[in-house]
DNA sequence: GCAAGGTC
């Protein structure tokens, strides 16, 4: 048997298809896809299936001095057990193996890892094939002339693994231990993340150090035949045009002159035609940037792209390439879109061009094509809204790259008024070109009426505007990724993850990202003692060393030994400063959680976490001062810059994905709750008859509101209410529950919430439908059809016969339904509740609200 | 529980 190994499952499937002429069959071994035809078997890895780490005895951070890691052994162990097991099994049956991983350094290393696993099972010959795109021609010719594994190139990759692990782990442990930050909130550093963080911190330093300067600008409205346009004052500053006036007296003088002017004479009119070329094909960075201007974070854009890739609608989203490969036929691809409702007209019009010559970017690599749509076009309702928007972006970008250039007419008018010069510019789109199919980049026109030299214009509405120079702007996520690419750090597949990691580690917050005090302290400590790790030079040096290894000019051992010596010297420096660094880091950690003065002691209030994991506000003077305030139970608290004027406490925002909200000043929220009387609206359905409990609208000190029983905590019946808006209790009563209908007033549109019990039941029903969409391959449309067929929540699928249901729902196969059923969580045998409506709203099923109430009465845990 | 690099 001949065994072929690829880097990922998708590549395995396509190579099997090509080499077998479509006859390959798919089976599963240990849950891993295996493709077979004739005497050949093909299996895909999932990138690296083994990882590097230190031996077991180094795993307890407190038992090991970080410096010991420098010379510790490094061992490789499987990280993808099932794939490794499958590979071993297949190797035992193989007479010959071929490594067909990606054609790049990391691919060579992944191939060598597979080789070593195979060698542990068999002495069969192992070959290597290289091809830069998975096309029939390239793949077949690569397999006709197999080569050998390039062990030097793989060793270059191993050097990177070793150096990254040793530096990253030793310094991360050093900082974490010195600040006594173990467990979840360790303090990390690394070759890629730390220079990226320094970029953000440096920009923040520039912003902090910025000293704004005053200047003035003047504007006047000019009119010809009643058509008005705005012009700006400018003057000659050493031969170049300047609009900003730096001296107030000069500005006042110009203002006076313009106000006295009754007319302006046009002294020059210049018309120019400009070509606006269509954009280059998408690589990862350009894609993230374009998706960013549609409001997607880098992480979100990439995860949607990966989803679209695995479902087969777009090509591989991790690529540096901006030049379409030769085997891409743009006309053929356009043809696939002509029959679609959304893109048909645009595709037709592009096909009418005489000659289609796609644009090209500067970067050409051969591992993967630029991101473009495959010929498979999804129906709109197969994708959710975000997926569709991103898919459309990729389709339209492809369209743009095969569309014509746009042309603009730029018009510039200069006029003189009472010795002052005024100018106005306008632009008009002459040929929309690619903008017709790619409506994302700005194509906005600015209007100027047709004026001629010598025309006399009316001057009206002269304005003097006082302004200040602005500090540099913070980097946005896509700008950061661009900057990382320019600096040569990270890869197309990791840059967006690095940004996400900085958020997770508490180094940056908000968007655009702003560094925390902790981030500043970490960068300061690194700058002082381990400058290399916050510098892009470390990567540059590593790249040079890796090239040397790949060329045979150096060995893995040379390079890693030298790197270890450098790190030894760093630790020499660090040795005496351990405590200072730790204190500084701890101070910064506290600063990020500090809200302001405690009303009962001379200390500050801090955001703290109870032993159970819930957040609250507590005094830094604990245990002497036991003052506390509750926080909402949803999300992670973030201390905002804005502070409450009354209490001097910073506002708190609760980060909870889609449900993120600003809580505000926790003292104000608690006071409001204390000052608000409970409003009784009816009898409690749980204990009203028996104990005369009433339902009341309650405001909690944590800021949330609910309808709850007045006998709490003896009765914990409750219903949720929105956090915001005034609640009006109307005279209308619900027939079913004998409760008043409620109306929430916030913003312009009042929201008729209705009976709180009915409302909660409807809410739960909606949640159930939303849960349906969490199943793979269920979009909004399918969820709706499922609901009509009686499946209103995922658990309902357990009770259906897939074959029967498939006949009831259009476009859904019984095997798809079986797949959904296989995604359902394990059934808890005790959970056979019937659908008693009142049962669904009682205590245990409503953790969030009950947590809020408990937070009020619970004695807060000490540190 | 550390990094960065693959991929899902």
Position A856 pLDDT exceeds 50: no
CA distance A52 to A400: 44
Tokens describing residue A359: 């644009």
Confidence of residue A863 (pLDDT cuts 50, 70, 90): very low
CA distance A538 to A488: 10
* Statement: the CB of A113 is under 7 Å from strand B: no
Closest-approach nucleotide to residue A194, Cα vs C1': B3
- Concatenated DSSP letters of A551-619: TTSS-HHHHHHHHHHHHHHHHHHHGGGHHHHHHHHHHHHHHHHEEEE-TTSSSEEEEEE-TTS-EEEEE
Distance, angstroms, CA A307 to C1' B8? 9
Distance, angstroms, CA A369 to C1' B6? 18
Position A644 pLDDT exceeds 50: yes
Of residues A257 and A779, more confidently modeled:
A257
**Residue whose C-alpha is closest to residue A459's, from A270, A271, A254:** A254
In a 3-state reduction of DSSP, which class is residue A278?
Answer: coil
Distances (CA, A) of A236 to A213, A244, A264, A356: 20, 11, 18, 47
Distance, angstroms, CA A639 to C1' B2? 27
Position A377 pLDDT exceeds 90: yes
Q: Which CATH class is domain A214-277+407-468?
A: mainly beta
Q: Which residues contact A148 (CB under 8 A, 6 or more apart)?
A: A127, A128
CA distance A550 to A542: 12
CA distance A299 to A513: 14
Position A554 pLDDT exceeds 80: yes
Average the pLDDT over A748-754 and give the result. 79
Closest-approach nucleotide to residue A8, Cα vs C1': B7
Pairing of strands A96-100, A126-128: parallel
Q: Which CATH class is domain A160-209+474-583?
A: mainly alpha
CA distance A596 to A593: 10
Q: What fold does the segment set A763-841 form as a domain? A: DNA polymerase; domain 1 (1.10.150)
CA distance A359 to A279: 7
CA distance A757 to A755: 6
Q: Which of residues 132-171 of A touch strand B (CB under 7 A)?
A: 160-161, 164-165, 168-169
**Residue whose C-alpha is closest to residue A278's, from A360, A336, A343:** A360
Q: Which pLDDT does position A752 carry in this prediction?
A: 82
* Statement: the CB of A59 is under 7 Å from strand B: yes
For chain A, give the longest Cα–Cα distance. Answer: 96
Distance, angstroms, CA A394 to C1' B2? 38
Closest-approach nucleotide to residue A495, Cα vs C1': B4
Average the pLDDT over A19-23 and give the result. 95
Strand order in the sheet with A650-655: A636-643, A650-655, A661-664
Tokens describing residue A301: 């854009």
* Statement: the CB of A52 is under 7 Å from strand B: yes
Distance, angstroms, CA A175 to C1' B7? 31
Position A615 pLDDT exceeds 80: yes
* Statement: the CB of A67 is under 7 Å from strand B: no
Characterize A169-190 residue by residue with b for buried, 16 or more Cβ atoms within 10 angstroms of its Cβ, and e for exposed: bbbbbbbbbbbebeeeeebbbb
CA distance A615 to A635: 9
Distance, angstroms, CA A60 to C1' B1? 9
Average pLDDT value for chain A: 88
Tokens describing residue A815: 């095997």
Distances (CA, A) of A181 to A62, A279, A586, A769, A818: 11, 47, 9, 42, 47
Q: Which pLDDT does position A857 carry in this prediction?
A: 33
Cβ pair A15, A4 in contact under 8 A: yes
Other Cβ atoms less than 10 A from the Cβ of A648: the count is 15
Instruction: Name the residue ranges covered by the structural domains of chain A.
Output: 2-45+80-149, 160-209+474-583, 214-277+407-468, 284-403, 598-672, 676-754, 763-841
Position A651 pLDDT exceeds 90: yes
**At how many degrees (to 10) do helices A193-209 and A495-504 cross?**
70
Q: How many CA atoms lie within 13 A of A538 on its CB side?
A: 25
* Statement: the CB of A779 is under 7 Å from strand B: no
- The rounded percent of chain A whose pLDDT value lies above 90 is 68
Tokens describing residue A757: 């019990």
Residue nearest to nucleotide B1 (CA to C1'): A183
CA distance A514 to A499: 12
Position A811 pLDDT exceeds 60: no
CA distance A47 to A101: 9
Distance, angstroms, CA A478 to C1' B5? 21
Cβ pair A843, A717 in contact under 8 A: yes
Tokens describing residue A484: 């990382």
Of residues A283 and A680, more confidently modeled:
A283
Q: What's the gap between Cα A614 and its chain centre?
A: 25
Distance, angstroms, CA A282 to C1' B4? 24
Phi-psi region of A719 (alpha: psi -120 to 50; beta: other; left: phi over 0): beta
* Statement: the CB of A784 is under 7 Å from strand B: no
Other Cβ atoms less than 10 A from the Cβ of A220: the count is 25
Distances (CA, A) of A641 to A42, A211, A505, A516, A653: 56, 20, 19, 11, 10
Residue nearest to nucleotide B2 (CA to C1'): A169
Long-range contacts of residues A813-820, Cβ cutoff 8 Å, at least 24 apart: A816/A777, A819/A776, A819/A777, A820/A775, A820/A776, A820/A777, A820/A778, A820/A794
Phi-psi region of A615 (alpha: psi -120 to 50; beta: other; left: phi over 0): beta
- The rounded percent of chain A whose pLDDT value lies above 70 is 90
Q: Which of residues 76-95 of A touch strand B (CB under 7 A)?
A: 79-80
Taking the alpha carbons of A652, A656, A661, A663 in that order, is the dihedral positive or negative?
Answer: negative
Q: Which pLDDT does position A845 carry in this prediction?
A: 34
Position A662 pLDDT exceeds 60: yes
Strand order in the sheet with A594-597: A594-597, A604-609, A615-619, A628-630
CA distance A425 to A430: 16
Confidence of residue A849 (pLDDT cuts 50, 70, 90): very low
Closest-approach nucleotide to residue A196, Cα vs C1': B4
Least confident piece of the model among A248-262, A467-481, A512-526, A607-621 = A607-621
SS (H, E, C) A430-466: EECHHHHCCCCCCCCCECCCCCCCCCEEEEEEEEEEE
Average the pLDDT over A627-643 and give the result. 89
Position A98 pLDDT exceeds 70: yes
Closest-approach nucleotide to residue A167, Cα vs C1': B3
Q: Which pLDDT does position A834 carry in this prediction?
A: 37
Least confident piece of the model among A221-235, A284-298, A404-418, A747-761 = A747-761
Distance, angstroms, CA A244 to C1' B6? 52
The residues of A that are catalytic are: 316
Yes or no: domain A2-45+80-149 corresponds to CATH 3.40.50.140: yes
Digit-coded pLDDT (tens) for A396-419: 999 999 999 999 999 999 999 999
Cβ pair A323, A359 in contact under 8 A: no
Digit-coded pLDDT (tens) for A69-82: 999 999 999 999 99
Q: Which pLDDT does position A844 carry in this prediction?
A: 36
Average the pLDDT over A562-591 and give the result. 95
Position A784 pLDDT exceeds 80: no
* Helical residues (DSSP H) of A179-213, grouped into ranges: 193-209
Digit-coded pLDDT (tens) for A319-339: 999 999 988 999 999 999 999
CA distance A646 to A726: 23
Give the single-character DSSP code of A184: G
Compute the 3-state secondary structure of chain A and give helix, strand, coil in percent, each to the nearest 5.
40, 25, 35
Average the pLDDT over A416-424 and give the result. 95
**H/E segment holding residue A423:** strand A420-431
Residue nearest to nucleotide B4 (CA to C1'): A164
Position A515 pLDDT exceeds 90: yes
Cβ pair A311, A378 in contact under 8 A: yes
Cβ pair A477, A298 in contact under 8 A: yes
Supply the Cα-derived Rg of chain A in whole angstroms. Answer: 33
Q: Which of residues 164-183 of A touch strand B (CB under 7 A)?
A: 164-165, 168-169, 172-173, 176, 182-183
Q: Which of residues 18-47 of A touch strand B (CB under 7 A)?
A: 44, 46-47
Closest-approach nucleotide to residue A306, Cα vs C1': B8
Position A492 pLDDT exceeds 80: yes
Digit-coded pLDDT (tens) for A469-490: 999 999 999 999 999 999 999 9
Least confident piece of the model among A356-360, A587-591, A769-773 = A769-773
Average the pLDDT over A19-47 and give the result. 96
Q: Which pLDDT does position A522 carry in this prediction?
A: 97
CATH of domain A284-403: 1.10.290.10
Give the single-character DSSP code of A383: S
Q: Which pLDDT does position A829 carry in this prediction?
A: 41
* Statement: the CB of A197 is under 7 Å from strand B: no
Nucleotides of chain B touched by protein CB (<7 A): 1-8
Cβ pair A421, A414 in contact under 8 A: yes
Tokens describing residue A375: 């010929």
Q: Which pLDDT does position A812 carry in this prediction?
A: 62
């Amino acid at each position: 048997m001949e065994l072929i190994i690829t880097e990922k499952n998708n590549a395995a499937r396509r190579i099997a298809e090509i080499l077998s002429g479509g006859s390959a069959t798919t089976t599963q071994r240990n849950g891993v896809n295996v493709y077979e035809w004739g005497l050949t078997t093909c299996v895909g890895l999932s990138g690296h299936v083994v990882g590097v780490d230190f031996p077991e005895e180094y795993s307890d951070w407190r038992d090991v001095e970080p410096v010991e890691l420098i010379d510790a052994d490094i061992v490789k162990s499987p990280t993808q057990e099932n794939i490794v097991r499958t590979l071993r099994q297949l190797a035992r049956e193989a007479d010959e193996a071929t490594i067909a991983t990606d054609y790049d350094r990391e691919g060579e290393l992944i191939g060598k890892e597979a080789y070593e696993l195979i060698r542990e099972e068999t002495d069969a010959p192992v070959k290597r094939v290289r091809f830069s795109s998975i096309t029939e021609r390239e793949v077949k010719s690569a397999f006709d002339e197999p080569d050998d594994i390039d062990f030097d190139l793989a060793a270059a990759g191993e050097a990177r693994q070793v150096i990254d692990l040793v530096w990253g782990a030793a310094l991360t442990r050093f900082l974490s231990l010195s600040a006594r930050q173990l467990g979840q909130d360790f303090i990390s550093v690394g070759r890629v993340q730390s220079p990226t963080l320094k970029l953000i911190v440096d920009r923040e330093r520039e912003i902090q150090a910025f000293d704004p300067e005053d200047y003035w600008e003047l504007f006047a409205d000019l009119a010809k035949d009643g058509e008005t346009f705005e012009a700006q004052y400018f003057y000659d500053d050493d031969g170049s045009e300047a609009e900003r006036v730096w001296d107030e007296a000069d500005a006042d003088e110009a203002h006076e002159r313009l106000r006295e002017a009754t007319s302006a004479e046009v002294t020059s009119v210049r018309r120019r035609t400009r070509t606006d070329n269509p954009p280059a094909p998408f690589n990862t960075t350009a894609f993230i940037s374009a998706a960013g201007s549609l409001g997607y974070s880098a992480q979100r854009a990439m995860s949607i792209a990966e989803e679209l890739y695995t479902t087969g609608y777009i090509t591989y989203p991790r690529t540096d390439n901006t030049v379409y490969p030769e085997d891409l036929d743009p006309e053929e691809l356009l043809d696939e879109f002509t029959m679609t409702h959304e893109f048909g007209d645009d595709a037709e019009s592009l096909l009418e061009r005489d000659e289609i010559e796609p644009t090209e970017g500067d970067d050409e690599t051969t591992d993967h094509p630029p991101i473009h749509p495959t010929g498979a076009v999804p129906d709109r309702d197969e994708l959710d809204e975000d997926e569709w928007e991103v898919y459309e972006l990729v389709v339209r970008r492809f369209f743009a790259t095969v569309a014509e250039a746009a042309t603009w007419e730029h018009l510039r008018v200069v006029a003189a008024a009472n010795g002052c010069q005024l100018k106005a510019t306008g632009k008009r789109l002459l040929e929309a070109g690619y903008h017709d199919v790619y409506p994302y980049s700005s194509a906005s026109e600015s209007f100027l009426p047709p004026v001629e030299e010598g025309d006399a214009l009316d001057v009206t509405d002269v304005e003097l505007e006082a302004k200040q120079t602005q500090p540099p702007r913070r980097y946005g996520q896509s700008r950061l990724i661009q900057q990382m690419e320019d600096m040569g750090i990270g890869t197309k597949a990791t840059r967006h993850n690095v940004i996400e990691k900085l958020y997770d580690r508490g180094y940056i917050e908000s968007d655009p990202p702003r560094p925390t005090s902790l981030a500043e302290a970490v960068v300061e400590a690194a700058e002082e003692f381990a400058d290399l790790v916050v510098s892009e030079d470390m990567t540059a040096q590593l790249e040079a060393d890796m090239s040397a290894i790949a060329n045979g000019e150096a060995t893995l051992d040379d390079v890693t030994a030298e790197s270890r010596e450098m790190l030894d010297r760093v630790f020499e420096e660090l040795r005496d400063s351990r405590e200072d660094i730790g204190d500084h880091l701890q101070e910064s950690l506290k600063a990020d959680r500090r809200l302001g003065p405690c009303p009962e002691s001379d200390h500050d209030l801090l955001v703290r976490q109870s032993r159970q994991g819930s957040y609250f506000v507590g005094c830094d003077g604990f245990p002497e001062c036991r003052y506390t305030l509750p926080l909402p139970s949803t999300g992670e608290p973030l201390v905002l810059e804005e502070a409450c004027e009354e209490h001097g406490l910073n506002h708190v925002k609760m980060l909870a994905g889609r449900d993120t909200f600003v809580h505000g000043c926790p003292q104000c929220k608690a006071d409001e709750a204390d000052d608000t009387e409970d409003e009784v609206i009816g009898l409690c359905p749980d204990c009203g008859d028996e104990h005369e409990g009433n339902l009341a609208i309650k405001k909690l000190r944590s800021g949330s509101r609910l309808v709850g029983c007045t006998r709490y905590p003896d009765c914990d019946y409750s219903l949720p209410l929105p956090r915001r808006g005034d609640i009006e209790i109307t005279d209308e009563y619900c027939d079913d529950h004998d409760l008043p209908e409620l109306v929430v007033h916030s913003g312009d549109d009042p929201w008729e919430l209705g009976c709180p019990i009915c409302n909660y039941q409807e809410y739960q029903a909606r949640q159930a439908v939303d849960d349906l969409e969490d199943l793979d391959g269920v979009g909004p449309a399918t969820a709706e059809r499922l609901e009509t067929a009686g499946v209103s929540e995922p658990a309902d699928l357990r009770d259906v016969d897939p074959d029967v249901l498939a006949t009831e729902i259009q476009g859904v196969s019984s095997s798809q339904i079986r797949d959904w059923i296989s995604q359902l969580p394990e059934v808890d045998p005790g959970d056979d509740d019937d659908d008693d409506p009142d049962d669904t709203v009682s205590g245990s099923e409503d953790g969030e609200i009950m947590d809020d109430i408990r937070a009020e009465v619970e004695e807060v845990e000490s540190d």
